[in-house]
Structure 1
Amino acid sequence: MSHALLEPITLRGTTFRNRVWIPPMCQYVVDAEDGVPTPWHLMHIGSFARGGAGAVIVEATGVVPEGRISPRDLGLWNDTQRDAFAPIVSFAQSLGAKVGIQLAHAGRKASTHPEWGTDGTGSLTEAEGGWQTVAPSALAFEGLDAPVALDEAGIADLVSAFADSARRAVEAGFDFVEIHGAHGYLVHEFLSPLSNERTDAYGGDLAGRSRFLFEIVDAVRAEIPQDMPLLVRLSATDWNDAGVTVPETAELAALLADRGVDLIDVSTGGNVLADIPVGPGYQVPAAAEVRASSGVPVSAVGMIDEPKQAEQIVATGQADVAMIGREALRDPNFALRAARELRVDIDYVPRPYHRAYK
């Protein structure tokens, strides 16, 4: 019986025990608003490692304080945050998972109320602890306050901030790094003509709109070991004919691979409000097209809820990795469940759980 989902995969010098990976999922639990990970994060990340995942990616983590979606987000702009991440990473690794971190800047979608825990919605006021947001152009996301367009000096500062956070990620012991270029956050805002109206070197055609991301990739690649995998998450389509398209994303994926990116984490949407046809595996076709057109390894994400569904995606070559998000929140042991359902013998069931897997 096929068991592609449970086969190892190697990127650069890192071998992952299987293709069941946990994508970054915001938790909004940093009540101290200092970006420092908490015991919740130890439990959250550790539970997926214990449950057999091949990799766990820490949620969107701000490279500067103003890059957070909300004040309750994680950060990696100082050494205190780095030092708090280290034992969490080490613990998850001791359970057999590889651990990555998604470095992010929320751009015009920053300075908002967290998704839960407060009564407010939308942008924070200054009295609520909000801050001025930035973007490639002074175009607001619907329902949020208008950002200020970044100048070239501001862009350079943020490229350096991504590099500094990548260095701290290495020092904290992470196995790999992912750059967040999706879901309408800052990098995606540069990539999409719907949010980037610049007329300088950071706007216009695909090469111009990609320049910010290329500079981040080059800066991050220079800070991490040569054998450490580097991922980029992209929204393959804006679900809008005037925005990012899947063929353009495939072209971008090939260009990123030439710059040292090892896998494209393919998602969609988030930059503008759109009518998205959500359903089981609804983003898998985009991942499959990016993979087929670019030749670059990809992951697929979005309502992949069943082991046989995930197995089919990987076994048929639509993606190299299945990102299991909300279903993993419901069942952190998804990978162990997949091994049972697919009748695959694995050697990483935790010993205290052996009695349940005989």
Structure 2
Amino acid sequence: MRLFDELKIKDMHLKNRIVLAPMCMVSAEEGMANDFHIIHYATRAMGQMGLIIVEATAVAENGMISNKDLGLWCDEQIKPLSWIVKRVKAFGGKVGIQLNHAGRRAKDKENMVSASSIAYGNFNKPKELTIPEIKEIVEAFKTSAKRAYIAGFDFLEIHAAHGYLINSFLSPLTNKRADIYGGSLENRSRLLYEIIEAIREEWPIEKPLGIRISYTDYHKDGLDVKDYIEILNNIKPNLVDVIDVSSGGILKEKVEEYPAYQLRGAKMLKTHTNYFIIAGGMINDAKLADDIIKLNDADLIYFGRLALKDPYFPLKFARDLKIEISWLRQYERAK
């Protein structure tokens, strides 16, 4: 296997294993996609990225990371997102969307909610969610998944990383609840499991579903990859297909970054689970990315800042690896 090999995940056929990481563009108005988003995502498809994952998209208005986030909490937001889908597919890419609730890291500092009333850094203390409120959030993920399906997305990703709401339930650093959503690892995983099952009521089983995780909290009392192996292996069979591996975010502390700094988590999950694994984190070199796939340390590689700097980097990577890939006809003179 190599970086430019095709890959089929359920009904999604990827032309290569290069993934655009979901990154907030802070460019929406009232959660609505606009011309910027269409051009931004379509350009990465033109650059021959195999899978484009649209940024963290709020399932509820009080779950936005910023007031310029995309949203899928109402039907009016479907059509603008469908324009992104059409443009990405027109240029040969597959397109996914990430669903999120920001929890204690939300833009609405006065109405933040979380697993427990524990502040993120110097943010305001969030309100601890009641069980009925938790059920409402599960329903919000479900209805947002339905809207994503109507919009035509190929892939759906649940954001369970970076200290946002689901992550705050998973981590013992932020979940001090004494009910069925707190205490044991099984109980702390309950919200994630309920969201997965609710989404599958609207997201067809033949379409791939993924989860983005922070494989470590970078804290001795927090979660680490061994915990995620248990969490993920306890998901009911065939509901989830892909694990997108990131790290940190539960604490407001800077993490040391270096090439492939998150690969430890991806390799462990690849070895000890049966999911397709997306690795990433400062992987900016063609040979490094290709070697990760060759060694079966991951199935796909996501790219963030590199893709912002150069949406056509896959063309350069193919050249560096001496692999012939298709270019847009209009750009072939630049080969």
**Shared fold per TM-score greater than 0.5:** yes
- The reply on whether 1:180 has 2:159 as its aligned counterpart is yes
Tell me which residue corresponds to 1:116.
none
Taking structure 2 as the reference length, what is the TM-score of the superposition?
Answer: 0.97
Tell me which residue corresponds to 1:233.
212
| Partner SS for 2:245 | strand
Alignment of structure 1 residues 53-132 onto 2, 5 Å: 53-111=49-107, 123=109, 131-132=110-111
Structure 1 window deviating more from structure 2 (303-312 vs 175-184): it is 303-312
> How far, CA to CA, are the matches of 2:147 and 2:73 in structure 1?
8
> How far, CA to CA, are the matches of 2:131 and 2:238 in structure 1?
22
Tell me which residue corresponds to 2:24.
26
Tell me which residue corresponds to 1:316.
295
> How far, CA to CA, are the matches of 1:68 and 1:259 in structure 2?
30
Runs of 4+ in 1 over 6 A off after TM superposition: none
Tell me which residue corresponds to 1:354.
332
List runs of 5+ in structure 2 lacking aligned partners: none
CA displacement 1:241-260 (0-9 Å, x = unmatched): 10111111122222236251
> How far, CA to CA, are the matches of 1:346 and 1:51 in structure 2?
11
Tell whether the 8 Å contact from 2:6 to 2:15 is kept in structure 1 after alignment. yes
| Partner SS for 1:353 | helix
> How far, CA to CA, are the matches of 2:193 and 2:218 in structure 1?
24
> How far, CA to CA, are the matches of 2:178 and 2:236 in structure 1?
27
List runs of 5+ in structure 1 lacking aligned partners: 113-122, 124-130
Match of 2:41, as an amino acid?
A: I
Tell me which residue corresponds to 1:117.
none
| Partner SS for 2:8 | strand
Tell me which residue corresponds to 2:119.
140
CA displacement 1:76-109 (0-9 Å, x = unmatched): 1111110111111111011111000000000000
Q: 1:210 to 1:222 in 2, by over 3 A?
A: same
> How far, CA to CA, are the matches of 2:200 and 2:315 in structure 1?
33
> How far, CA to CA, are the matches of 2:44 and 2:254 in structure 1?
32
Tell whether the 8 Å contact from 2:113 to 2:126 is kept in structure 1 after alignment. yes
Post-superposition shift, 1:276?
A: 2.5
Tell me the C-alpha RMSD between the 2 structures.
1.2
Structure 1 window deviating more from structure 2 (201-210 vs 275-284): it is 275-284
Post-superposition shift, 1:277?
A: 2.8
Taking structure 1 as the reference length, what is the TM-score of the superposition?
Answer: 0.91
Tell whether the 8 Å contact from 1:254 to 1:296 is kept in structure 2 after alignment. no
- The reply on whether 1:46 has 2:25 as its aligned counterpart is no
| Partner SS for 1:256 | coil
Match of 2:10, as an amino acid?
A: R
Tell whether the 8 Å contact from 1:182 to 1:233 is kept in structure 2 after alignment. yes
CA displacement 1:259-312 (0-9 Å, x = unmatched): 510010010000013453311110011111111112322111110111111111
> How far, CA to CA, are the matches of 1:228 and 1:60 in structure 2?
19
Tell me which residue corresponds to 1:6.
4
Structure 1 window deviating more from structure 2 (190-199 vs 243-252): it is 243-252
> How far, CA to CA, are the matches of 2:75 and 2:238 in structure 1?
28
Structure 1 window deviating more from structure 2 (246-255 vs 169-178): it is 246-255
Match of 2:42, as an amino acid?
A: G
Tell whether the 8 Å contact from 2:142 to 2:195 is kept in structure 1 after alignment. yes
Tell whether the 8 Å contact from 2:42 to 2:88 is kept in structure 1 after alignment. yes
| Partner SS for 1:179 | strand
> How far, CA to CA, are the matches of 1:109 and 1:259 in structure 2?
31
> How far, CA to CA, are the matches of 1:151 and 1:191 in structure 2?
16
> How far, CA to CA, are the matches of 2:252 and 2:267 in structure 1?
24
Aligned residues: 335
Post-superposition shift, 1:13?
A: 1.4
Tell whether the 8 Å contact from 2:205 to 2:239 is kept in structure 1 after alignment. no
